[in-house]
């Protein structure tokens, strides 16, 4: 079980997406998942080993690291990727439900299984709202936990068993900051894509409904 599973999930969702949805999948694959696996994981790999405090007191480094990084950036990033990809499962389940219904009734109930209309439209819109919601929640979490998206070179720590206020140095702070900004930028892009897809779908189906009612009125 690894990122390949997420990749397969998103490929499956691609079939039932709109054009903007497919761009979203491409952005998530290439600029988020691939960058995470091929690049970012290695930066944070030895973060605890390389975290150094100006003291010989055993346990002080561990305690200070734990205080400043309750959940590591890289873990939050991974959680964000998983949570943001999961709402697409709702669409997959709905299509599977439609397939099941057709099999059960042994006749064609829907014009096309993957056509985004009726119940599937609601499911799709809910999945878009959830995706956007998760993105915003994680960005907010990053901001709150780490006081913005900066990674300082030096943090001062005075938690027991550290004898006084000690200087602790974080490894590769600039590189980590660059990739955090990259994460924020790609998250922002995905939020914009989700919101445009949402507006596009709502606009398209309002026009469709309006035209239908207009035609009915004049018949």
Partner 1 sequence: MDWGALHTILGGVNKHSTSIGKIWLTVLFIFRIMILVVAAERVWGDEQDDFVCNTLQPGCKNVCYDHFFPISHIRLWALQLIFVSTPALLVAMHVAYRRHEKKRQFRKGDKKCEYKDIEEIRKQRFHIEGTLWWTYTSSIFFRLVFEAVFMYAFYFMYDGFRMPRLMKCNAWPCPNTVDCFVSRPTEKTVFTIFMIAVSSICILLNVAELCYLLTKFFLRRSKKAGNPKHHPNHKNKEETKQNEMNELISDSCQNTVIGFSS
Residues lying near partner 1 in the complex (CB under 8 A): 3-4, 6-7, 19, 22-23, 26, 29-31, 33-35, 37-39, 42-43, 46, 50, 52-55, 153-154, 167-175, 178-179
Shortest Å distance, C-beta 157 to partner 1: 12
Shortest Å distance, C-beta 218 to partner 1: 26
| Angstrom distance (rounded) from CA 208 to CA 142 | 41
Closest to partner 1 by CB, 57 vs 191, is 57
Closest to partner 1 by CB, 34 vs 195, is 34
Shortest Å distance, C-beta 169 to partner 1: 4
Closest to partner 1 by CB, 119 vs 150, is 150
Q: How many residues does the chain have?
A: 219
Shortest Å distance, C-beta 217 to partner 1: 28
Shortest Å distance, C-beta 45 to partner 1: 10
| Angstrom distance (rounded) from CA 197 to CA 150 | 31
Closest to partner 1 by CB, 26 vs 136, is 26
Q: What is the largest distance, in Å, between two alpha-carbon atoms of the chain?
A: 87
Closest to partner 1 by CB, 39 vs 136, is 39
Shortest Å distance, C-beta 173 to partner 1: 6
| Angstrom distance (rounded) from CA 133 to CA 18 | 20
Task: Please give the torsion angle defined by the CA atoms of residues 109, 115, 118 and 121, in that order, rounded to the nearest 10 degrees.
Answer: 150
**Residues 6 or more apart in contact with residue 170 via CB below 8 angstroms:** 47, 51, 68, 151, 152, 153, 154, 155, 176
Closest to partner 1 by CB, 153 vs 208, is 153
Closest to partner 1 by CB, 86 vs 141, is 86
Shortest Å distance, C-beta 62 to partner 1: 15
| Angstrom distance (rounded) from CA 16 to CA 127 | 13
């Amino acid at each position: 079980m690894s990122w390949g599973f997420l990749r397969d999930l998103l490929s499956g969702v691609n079939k039932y997406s709109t054009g903007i949805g497919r761009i979203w999948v491409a952005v998530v694959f290439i600029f988020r998942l691939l960058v995470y696996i091929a690049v970012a994981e290695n930066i944070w790999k030895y973060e605890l080993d390389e975290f150094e405090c100006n003291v010989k007191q055993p346990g002080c480094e561990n305690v200070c690291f734990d205080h400043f990084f309750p959940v590591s950036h890289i873990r939050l990033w991974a959680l964000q990727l998983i949570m943001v990809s999961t709402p697409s499962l709702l669409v997959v389940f709905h299509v599977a439900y439609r397939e099941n219904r057709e099999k059960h009734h042994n006749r064609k109930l829907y014009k096309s299984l993957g056509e985004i209309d009726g119940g599937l439209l609601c499911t799709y819109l809910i999945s878009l709202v959830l995706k956007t919601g998760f993105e915003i929640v994680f960005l907010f979490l990053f901001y709150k936990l780490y006081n913005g998206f900066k990674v300082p070179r030096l943090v001062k720590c005075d938690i027991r068993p550290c004898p006084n206020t000690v200087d602790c140095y974080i490894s590769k702070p600039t590189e980590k900051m660059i990739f955090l900004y990259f994460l924020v930028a790609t998250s922002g892009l995905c939020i914009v894509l989700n919101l445009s897809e949402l507006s596009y779908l709502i606009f398209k189906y309002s026009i469709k409904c309006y035209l239908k009612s207009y035609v009915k009125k004049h018949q």
